[in-house]
């Protein structure tokens, strides 16, 4: 545990959490419409993965705000996208579920559960044909591992030895469905262990996430084929803003809130004397300012013109994609 890593991880996780808390507030005010899926509680996964997988292509599910921030996307353009404004990363047309930025190799926010996996496999196949060692990172939730697209994807990736990391956030609930109701076992790495190296890690520990993805990245870049990681984690909010999460007990919530990845990282660093308390205080103030500026930017940005309704519907010629 290095001080520089603690500072980077803490800043990005706290920035992501405050971004989503602000997004929740703005949604309740009616400034954000459509779906809004929050990552609160799962920041160690989003930040640890993106910090480790620093090159190559990233395909994500729709709970991707913190992933996008950790990848380098400006919180202002993300918030503007949530507001449906012209200055948003997808010109205000995608909303929360479609944060797409080819310049960051971030093909995020697939709205179909598990839909990102076949596209990620296709991209990995292209990478291999081109002879590049930079691989592909595909992240999804536990519910996605019950779909046919998931099994077809891990099968082809293994058969063709493609450079791809499959990363599953196991927060135990696919919307309101407990994993044990639809799967014969809860340790999901078992679904992939006959296809590729497959591990289960603590997704509430940002260093464990970071180190495992670093190891997986080295594996796929050496041409050894795909790698599978299951991270045990937990979302503190409902599946989306329309979900009050009452299917979970207060006792269960308390157990996982004691494992809060942000507070635990801060307390551990302070206890070990690696980072001074002043850093965390100053960082918190800095983040409050950044979030306030992001909301102001989104609120004051223009709406898309009506002529934009029919543009970007089809991609005639994509630039900077898998290149």
- Is-contact 45 65, C-beta < 8 A? no
pLDDT in tens, 291-303: 999 999 999 999 9
- 228-257 average pLDDT score: 94
pLDDT in tens, 34-76: 999 999 999 999 999 999 998 899 999 999 999 999 999 999 9
Q: Is residue 131, in this structure, part of any structural domain at all?
A: yes
- We report the CATH number of the domain holding residue 188 as 3.40.50.970
Q: Is residue 318, in this structure, part of any structural domain at all?
A: no
Q: Is residue 278, in this structure, part of any structural domain at all?
A: yes
pTM beyond 0.85: the answer is yes
Q: Is residue 142, in this structure, part of any structural domain at all?
A: yes
* Domain hosting residue 80, numbered range: 3-310
Q: Is residue 315, in this structure, part of any structural domain at all?
A: no
Q: In the structure, how many helices (H) and strands (E) does the chain have?
A: 11, 9
Buried b (16+ CB within 10 A) or exposed e, 35-49: ebbbbbbbbbbbbbb
Domains in the chain, number: 1
- 104-127 average pLDDT score: 94
pLDDT at residue 272, as a whole number? 95
- 294-317 average pLDDT score: 88
Q: Is the pLDDT of residue 266 over 90?
A: yes
Q: Is residue 166, in this structure, part of any structural domain at all?
A: yes
Q: Is residue 43, in this structure, part of any structural domain at all?
A: yes
pLDDT at residue 312, as a whole number? 81
């Amino acid at each position: 545990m290095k001080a520089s890593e603690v500072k980077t991880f803490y800043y990005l996780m706290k920035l992501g959490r405050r971004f989503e808390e602000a997004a929740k507030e703005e949604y309740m005010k009616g400034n954000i419409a459509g779906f809004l899926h929050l990552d609160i509680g799962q920041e160690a996964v989003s930040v640890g993965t993106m910090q480790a997988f620093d090159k190559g292509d990233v395909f994500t599910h729709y709970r991707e705000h913190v992933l996008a921030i950790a990848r380098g996307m400006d919180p202002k353009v993300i918030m503007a996208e949530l507001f449906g404004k012209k200055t948003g990363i997808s010109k205000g047309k995608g909303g929360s579920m479609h944060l797409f930025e080819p310049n960051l190799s971030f093909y995020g926010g697939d709205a179909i559960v598990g839909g990102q996996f076949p596209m990620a496999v296709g991209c990995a196949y292209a990478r291999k044909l081109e002879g590049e060692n930079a691989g592909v990172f595909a992240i999804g939730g536990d519910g996605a591992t019950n779909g046919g697209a998931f099994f077809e994807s891990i099968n082809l990736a293994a058969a063709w030895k493609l450079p791809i990391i499959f990363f599953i956030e196991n927060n135990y609930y696919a919307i309101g469905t407990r994993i044990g109701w639809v799967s014969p076992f809860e340790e999901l790495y078992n679904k992939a262990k006959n296809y590729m190296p497959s591990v289960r890690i603590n997704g509430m520990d940002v260093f464990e996430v970071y180190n495992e993805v670093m190891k997986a990245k080295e594996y796929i870049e050496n041409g050894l084929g795909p790698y599978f990681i299951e991270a045990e984690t937990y979302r503190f909010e409902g599946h989306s803003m329309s979900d009050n999460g009452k299917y979970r007990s207060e006792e269960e919530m308390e157990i996982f809130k004691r494992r809060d990845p942000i507070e635990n990282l801060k307390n551990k660093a302070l206890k070990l004397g690696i980072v001074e308390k002043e850093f965390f205080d100053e960082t918190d103030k800095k983040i409050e300012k950044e979030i306030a500026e992001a909301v102001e930017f989104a609120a004051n940005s223009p709406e898309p013109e009506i002529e934009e309704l029919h543009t970007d519907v089809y991609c005639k010629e994509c630039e900077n994609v898998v290149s």
